[in-house]
Amino acid sequence: MRGALAALAVVLTAAACTADPVDPRSPPVTTPPTSTAPTDPATSTGPPVAAPRFDADRALATVRDLATGIGPRLATRPAYGAAVALLWPRLVSSGYAVTRQSFAVPAGDSWGVPARAGRSSNVVAVPPDFDPDRPYAIVGAHLDTVAVAPGAEDNASGVAVVMELARTLDSDSDNDLPVVLVLFGGEEPRGPGDLHHFGSKHYVAQLSAQERRSLVAMVSLDRVGVGRTVPLYSVDGGPTEVRDQLERAGRRTGVPTTVGTNTGSDHESFADAGLPAARVGGTSYAAYHSADDRPDVVDRAQLARVGRLLTAWIAGLPRGR
């Protein structure tokens, strides 16, 4: 069964790629440094280096790949597997060791549509030479959608920012805090109450005691392409440490933010386990959880703000070496 799904995923991925001028099998990581250095002299502090920078146009292209190329990605349906198959090689080509965690999702109601029980998966991208004895951070975004929504804003936007971070962070650096990137499955609800966030709950449950001790911060990017200010959330009644760090990064980079409390995304699973976590994103919009959640609701400038904010936050994290 899983082999059949994988085969279908490959077929769907191939179809998506045909319409896409950017072939994911040809990663843009080999761009010669000389092609970017002359256009950006302000950042040159020495010899030209091939440091890729967060590109909101690339992020928008990822939003289209997912929302238009694949469409609704219910966590337990083959389209979800197609999304995994699309993004997996891009994470690998960015230098990460990529693995998949499989978990069960119960039957239920996906925003008004009956959904059968099944399995979904998290995609976990770990920097090379990752050492759980040393401090690290997690940045995640849920890859699934409710049954009917193409999910451009919810949450191809968050996934697209994760993919840009994968491309632009120096995953092989000895100087930067390592960042584990996770695409979560099964975030969207299967009913009221606690029937949601299945992938992140599974992820937290499998963390070793050492991995928990070394985790300095987790951020969930969830709906980050709408609005002009960036919402930052801690959980109700929980510590605000990570949210405060993000707020300071916003001030440093001129990105306007608002702060509040919210439990509506995967950061909740980490906070419930006593781990430092926050959510970025969540501005209200009319197309929420509907068939109208298409790429035109996502604003390139807002993706750029969130990219700037996250890049600065990561750069400012304590290294703890």
The residues near 222 (Cβ < 8 Å, ≥ 6 apart) are 141, 142, 154, 155, 158, 187, 264, 265, 266, 279, 280, 281, 282
3-class SS letters over 288-308: CCCCCCCHHHCCHHHHHHHHH
Residue with Cβ nearer Zn ion (155 or 262):
155
Give the span between the Cα atoms of 25 and 38, in whole angstroms. Answer: 28
Stretch of 53-61, 151-159, 177-185, 240-248 contacting Zn ion, by CB under 5 A: 151-159
Stretch of 37-45, 93-101, 150-158, 161-169 contacting Zn ion, by CB under 5 A: 150-158
Cβ(23)–Cβ(17) below 8 Å: yes
Stretch of 109-117, 147-155, 169-177, 277-285 contacting Zn ion, by CB under 5 A: 147-155
* Crossing angle of the two packed helices 157-168 and 78-93, in degrees rounded to 10: 20
Q: Which of 155, 245, 262, 283 binds Zn ion (CB under 5 A)?
A: 155
Residue with Cβ nearer Zn ion (155 or 245):
155
Instruction: State yes or no: residue 154 binds Zn ion (CB under 5 A).
Output: yes
Stretch of 73-81, 130-138, 149-157, 250-258 contacting Zn ion, by CB under 5 A: 149-157
| Total residues interacting with Zn ion, rule: CB under 5 A | 3
**What's the closest the beta carbon of residue 185 comes to Zn ion, in angstroms?**
12
Two structure tokens written together for 313: 């936050």
Strand, helix or coil for residue 60? helix
Residue with Cβ nearer Zn ion (65 or 222):
222
**By CB under 5 A, what part of segment 211-230 binds Zn ion?**
222
Give the span between the Cα atoms of 281 and 269, in whole angstroms. Answer: 17
**By CB under 5 A, what part of segment 31-50 binds Zn ion?**
none
36: Cα within 13 Å, side-chain hemisphere: 16
**What's the closest the beta carbon of residue 16 comes to Zn ion, in angstroms?**
21
**By CB under 5 A, what part of segment 286-315 binds Zn ion?**
none
Please give the residue ranges that form the binding site for Zn ion (CB under 5 A): 154-155, 222
